[in-house]
A = this chain, B = another copy of it.
Amino acid sequence: MNTFGHLFRITTWGESHGGAVGVVVDGCPPQIDLDVSAIQFEMNRRKPGQSHLTTPRQEGDAVEILSGVFEGKTLGTPISMLVWNKNARPSDYQHLKDLYRPSHADFTYQEKYGIRNWQGGGRASARETIGRVAAGAIAKQVLREHAGTETLAYVKQIHTLAAEVDTDTVTLEQIEASPVRCPDPIVSPKMAERIDQARRDRDSLGGIIESVARNVPVGLGEPVFDKLKADLAKAMMSLPATMGFQIGSGFDGITMTGSEHNDPFYLEEGDETARVRTRTNNSGGTQGGISNGENIVFQVAFKPTATIGKPQQTVDMHGNEVTLEASGRHDPCVLVRAPAIVEAMAALVLTDHLLRHRSKSCF
């Protein structure tokens, strides 16, 4: 349904058109100095219309906090946040009312619920992720304050263009410096060019978002079902347009043998005690579903955006085969906005597991 998480738990709500979209964050630890500008910063990273590379529809997306905070600090009670929907123009979508757009959720929503909000995707719209990003911004603050953990995500691949990124050293600044949020300075401009070409072609592109979490405490993850990799996979595959998730060596790892793939342990000398480390990180930071202290590195595949400008064959609700004509401007590559969303979901999962693990370990 619309709630995610066990101890740090979010409930999102809202259609793309209609009153508003929002989220309730439940289980946030009390006494966190909530940085509201940090929440808005993430909202801005997510929103369309940031540059000519993203959707031209301008959205304000100013977040309002309605509860759970008192004199700047979290109360431990639910934090309710919302963003008003500003530019609802039903007439823009009137021609889609009876149509099933290919590879959108129109058909399945209509069949499942017998009704749907046909104005701009309704609940299946990417606008639904606003609540996730706002909640994730709070999770990031909890992670930073309580564990020093940092989550980052960036564009790893667009269409056939793959970037080289060092997961140990990549920074938010490097990511944000790129108009396509790809921290590889060589590939980034090529990606921008490819996206521009797709727009001119009235077509769209997909790609891969890679995410790294650094300084993750050892011990996060609750086998056997709530393994860290399982909850990360669910979080990512609950996003619109995602088609795949892989951690560590992922699908590529299968062409290795066990002796090549296993991550040998060694001891890293520290000031006081030696720390158990692995020389390679094919495991992607978890073993047995539990974080091992190495970087958590995973990738998410996003399909090319379903909304395109080219005419398409489809059917309508009344049993007619029809042609869906071009529908004005479109966003040829949502990946540019996706890093904020992936980071948010990663932060939500890690925070939930941090709290779950602490309930045991603090005895």
Contacts and interface: CB of A to CB of B under 8 A. Distances in A.
Contact of A284 (B234, B238, B243): B243
A89 to B, nearest CB: 15
A274 B302 CA distance: 32
B13 A24 contact: yes
A233 B225 CA distance: 11
A115 interface: yes
Contacts of A249: 243, 303
Interface string A207-223: 11000000000110111
A9 B1 contact: yes
A179 interface: no
9 contacts: A3-B26, A111-B292, A160-B255, A227-B238, A233-B236, A243-B254, A243-B284, A254-B304, A266-B313
Contacts of A3: 3, 9, 11, 26, 225
A76 interface: yes
B24 A276 contact: no
B314 A264 contact: yes
Tell which of A105, A201, A223 has the most Cβ of chain B within 10 Å.
A223
Given A258-B308, A358-B362, A4 B225 contact: yes
Interface in A195-250: 198, 201, 203-208, 218-219, 221-227, 229-238, 240, 242-250
Closest 4 CB pairs of A and B: A105-B288, A362-B362, A204-B258, A244-B246
A87 interface: no
A355 to B, nearest CB: 5
Contacts of A31: 113-115
A289 interface: yes
Interface in A335-362: 355-362
A313 B13 contact: no
Interface string A72-109: 01111111101000000000000000001011110111
Interface range, A side? 35 or more
Total copies of this chain within the assembly = 4
Nearest to A201: B257
B113 A76 contact: yes
Nearest to A78: B13
Interface string A300-344: 011111111010111100010100000000001000000000000
Tell which of A201, A243, A287 has the most Cβ of chain B within 10 Å.
A243
A115 B80 contact: no
A351 B170 CA distance: 43
A253 interface: yes
Given A29-B363, A67-B15, A245-B233, A288 B124 contact: yes
Interface string A2-28: 111011010111110011111010110
Given A3-B9, A243-B248, A75 B123 contact: yes
A189 interface: no
A14 B222 CA distance: 15
Contacts of A257: 159, 198, 201, 203-205, 304, 308
Contact of A76 (B65, B115, B264, B266): B115
